[in-house]
């Protein structure tokens, strides 16, 4: 064990938080409290998971494991023995979260709005689930009876910002202004809940995530980057107005930091993000590249696909988010379309003539294995590796016709980036396109509708399409009685779990893949830290729910579409 450290720890997650924004605003005197916090504390670049996507990153944060250790790599995972895709939630994350270990050790904890925590599990304190919660129902809160008193205090509470940007574009006279106003109003509710929960008790561990930063940056990042590079005086007024959506968000959080959170003198305070951000330049129909190489085949166009396309691309854009689940139910029951989630993401692939395919926006490649998959085409490990090598050759050899350069900047096989008991669930390989400035097209239906392989993102949007996308380089900043001032350099998101356990004077889990950020704390951890097995502490927790039903899957899908992840 370390020496007797008794200071408590508060963690505020800024989803997608970036030092590019923070440093720019500090340099103009617009974040005085962050400037004070960082200058007298410790900061570092926090490398996210591979791929740098919300479910994988947050799960790695609170389990201290890489995706091969907790089993989650994207918003979806393949259903065993089929080609169906299921949205993931907290029930799919393996490993002992830091708040569970703290609870079992007698610490009082409060967890709020952290992705991948639905259904809420028992803690020695309070838990309110994050964005993977389809409803604010009894499964989104622990203790269950806390929901009633909380709802009385916040009768209009929403776990996730609910708005369809495309619907707003078609029905608002000023969609940018309305989007900003609704988002900043949601930020106010996030801050109000944080401060309410903080005051309920003097928690040993308090963890909360602000999601507004991520949502605003997905839409307005390109404008913010233009302003940061060229200066407001040299950028079109409309671009400045969009950039202020992001800047106003950070400035409002800075105000909260100065008025309330810096006053917690007996607490260590950590700001961290699950990933960083950068400009989204292009969308790429990766499966078309694999098809041209003879590694994948598409089905012929059918009436079923036409119906599905209309529902997912036309009907949804004309309806507010709250109506999407109704449309999904109607399609399944009356039109025989089935699950829109499964039908639109991979349904257009001819599996009997496909060896490898790309899934998602962040470069995940999967092989079609005989004996595991219903129409598997690959029968041996050597054949699997050979197919992935062929896919690597096809993808790295494909160039953007605009500049004649390869679109691939990294290509890694899973054995080189994942480790842990769930490596078999991981993609066979992960590729990166132009340092994440290019993204894959999520839906095979959308790929088939595109004439070009590389095209401008969000062509159906005029104002609120995605202009920003995740980068691996996130941020971490710490201050408090146990924090040593300085710059910790580049560290990993899996390093935070062991560091937080150290700050709470708790043993480390043997399953942690990260390490204590020793240069950021002002005491010397013991040479031989006490270790526990996180697996042995897990136990069986029956929360009355293990995942989503079909209707809840549709709610999650609609939410991810609104956020630009589909």
Structure tokens at 201: 């008790």
Q: pLDDT band at 329, cuts 50/70/90? A: low
What would the pLDDT profile of 411-470 be if each residue is shown by its tens digit?
999 999 999 999 999 999 999 999 999 999 988 888 888 899 999 998 889 999 999 999
Classified as helix, coil or strand, 531 is strand
Q: pLDDT band at 565, cuts 50/70/90? A: confident
Cβ-in-10-Å burial (0-12, 13-18, 19+) of 459 comes to: exposed
Going from N- to C-terminal start, the domains of the chain cover: 8-279+470-562, 282-467
pLDDT averaged over the chain? 90
What would the pLDDT profile of 283-294 be if each residue is shown by its tens digit?
999 999 999 999
What would the pLDDT profile of 244-273 be if each residue is shown by its tens digit?
999 999 999 999 999 888 876 679 999 999
Please give the model's pTM, rounded to 2 decimal places: 0.92
Instruction: Provide the b/e sequence for 205-215 (b: ≥16 CB within 10 Å).
Output: bbbbbbbbbbb
CATH superfamily of 8-279+470-562: Alkaline Phosphatase, subunit A (3.40.720.10)
Q: What pLDDT does residue 145 have?
A: 93
Res 331 pLDDT > 60? no
Query: What is the β-pairing status of strands 282-284 and 8-14?
Result: unpaired
The DSSP annotation for 438-480 comes to EEE-S-HHHHHH-SSSEE-S-TT-SSSS--EEEESEEEEEEES
Q: What pLDDT does residue 193 have?
A: 98
The set of residues, in sequence order, having a beta carbon less than 8 Å from that of 281 and lying 6+ positions away, is 434, 437, 438, 457
In angstroms, rounded to a whole number, what is the distance separating the alpha carbons of residues 160 and 459?
A: 25
Query: What is the β-pairing status of strands 276-279 and 267-272?
Result: unpaired
Q: What pLDDT does residue 547 have?
A: 85
Q: What pLDDT does residue 138 have?
A: 92
Tell me how long the chain is.
566
CA distances from 281 to 400, 403, 455, 487 (A): 12, 13, 9, 31
Q: What pLDDT does residue 337 have?
A: 44
Neighbours of 188 (CB within 10 A): 12
Sheet holding 408-413, edge to edge: 356-359, 364-367, 429-433, 408-413
CA distances from 463 to 168, 173, 179, 182, 524 (A): 10, 12, 10, 15, 52
The DSSP annotation for 86-122 comes to EE--GGG--S--HHHHHHHTT--EEEEEESS--S---
Res 489 pLDDT > 60? yes
In angstroms, rounded to a whole number, what is the distance separating the alpha carbons of residues 369 and 386?
A: 13
What would the pLDDT profile of 312-321 be if each residue is shown by its tens digit?
555 555 556 5
What would the pLDDT profile of 92-138 be if each residue is shown by its tens digit?
999 999 999 999 999 999 999 999 999 999 999 999 999 999 999 99
Element housing 509 (H / E): strand 508-509
Q: What pLDDT does residue 6 have?
A: 58
């Amino acid at each position: 064990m370390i020496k007797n450290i008794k200071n408590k720890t508060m963690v505020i997650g800024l989803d997608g938080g970036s030092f590019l924004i923070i440093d720019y605003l500090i340099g103009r005197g617009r974040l005085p409290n962050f400037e004070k916090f960082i200058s007298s504390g410790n900061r570092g670049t926090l490398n996210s998971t591979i791929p740098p996507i919300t479910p994988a990153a947050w799960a790695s944060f609170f389990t201290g494991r890489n995706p091969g250790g907790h089993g989650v790599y994207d918003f979806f995972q393949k259903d065993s023995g089929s080609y169906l895709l299921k949205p993931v939630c907290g029930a799919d994350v393996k490993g002992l979260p830091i708040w569970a270990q703290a609870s079992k050790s007698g610490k009082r904890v409060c967890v709020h709005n952290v992705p991948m925590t639905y259904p809420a599990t028992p803690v020695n304190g309070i838990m309110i689930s994050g964005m993977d919660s389809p409803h604010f129902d009894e499964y989104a809160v622990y203790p269950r009876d806390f929901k009633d008193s909380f709802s009385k205090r916040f009768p209009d509470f929403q776990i996730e910002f609910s708005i369809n940007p495309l619907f707003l574009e078609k029905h608002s006279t000023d969609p940018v202004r309305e989007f900003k106003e609704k988002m900043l109003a949601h930020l106010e509710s996030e801050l109000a809940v944080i401060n309410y929960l903080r005051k309920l008790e003097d928690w040993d561990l308090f963890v909360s995530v602000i999601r507004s930063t991520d949502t605003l940056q997905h839409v307005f990042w390109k404008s913010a980057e233009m302003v940061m590079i060229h200066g407001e005086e040299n950028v079109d007024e409309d671009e400045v107005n969009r950039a202020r959506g992001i800047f106003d968000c950070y400035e409002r959080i800075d105000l909260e930091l100065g008025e309330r959170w810096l006053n917690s003198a007996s607490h260590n305070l950590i700001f961290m993000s699950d990933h960083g951000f950068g400009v989204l330049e292009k969308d790429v129909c990766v499966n078309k590249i694999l098809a041209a190489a003879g590694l994948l085949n598409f089905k012929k166009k059918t009436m079923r696909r036409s119906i599905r396309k209309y529902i997912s691309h036309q009907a949804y854009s004309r309806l507010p988010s709250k109506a999407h689940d109704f449309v999904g139910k109607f399609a399944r029951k009356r039109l025989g379309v089935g699950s829109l989630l499964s039908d639109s993401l991979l349904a257009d692939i001819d599996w009997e003539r496909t060896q490898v395919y790309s899934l998602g926006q962040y470069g995940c490649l999967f092989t079609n294995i005989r004996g595991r998959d219903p129409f598997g085409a690959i029968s041996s490990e050597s054949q699997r590796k050979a197919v992935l090598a062929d896919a690597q050759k096809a993808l790295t050899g494909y160039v953007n016709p605009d500049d004649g350069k390869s679109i691939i900047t990294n290509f890694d096989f899973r054995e080189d980036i994942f480790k842990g008991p769930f490596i078999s669930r991981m993609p066979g390989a992960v590729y990166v396109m132009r340092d994440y400035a290019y993204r894959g097209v999520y839906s095979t239906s959308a790929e088939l509708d595109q004439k070009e392989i590389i095209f401008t993102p969000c062509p159906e949007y005029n104002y609120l399409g995605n202009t920003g996308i995740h980068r691996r380089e996130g941020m971490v900043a710490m201050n408090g009685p146990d924090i040593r001032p300085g710059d910790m350099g580049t560290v990993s998101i899996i390093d935070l779990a062991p560091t937080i356990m150290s700050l709470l004077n708790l043993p480390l889990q043997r399953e942690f893949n990260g390490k204590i950020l020793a240069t950021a704390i002002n005491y010397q951890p013991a040479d031989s830290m006490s270790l526990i097995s996180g697996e042995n502490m897990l136990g069986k927790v029956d929360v009355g729910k293990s995942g989503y039903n079909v209707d809840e899957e549709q709610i999650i899908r609609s939410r991810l579409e609104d956020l630009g992840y589909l």
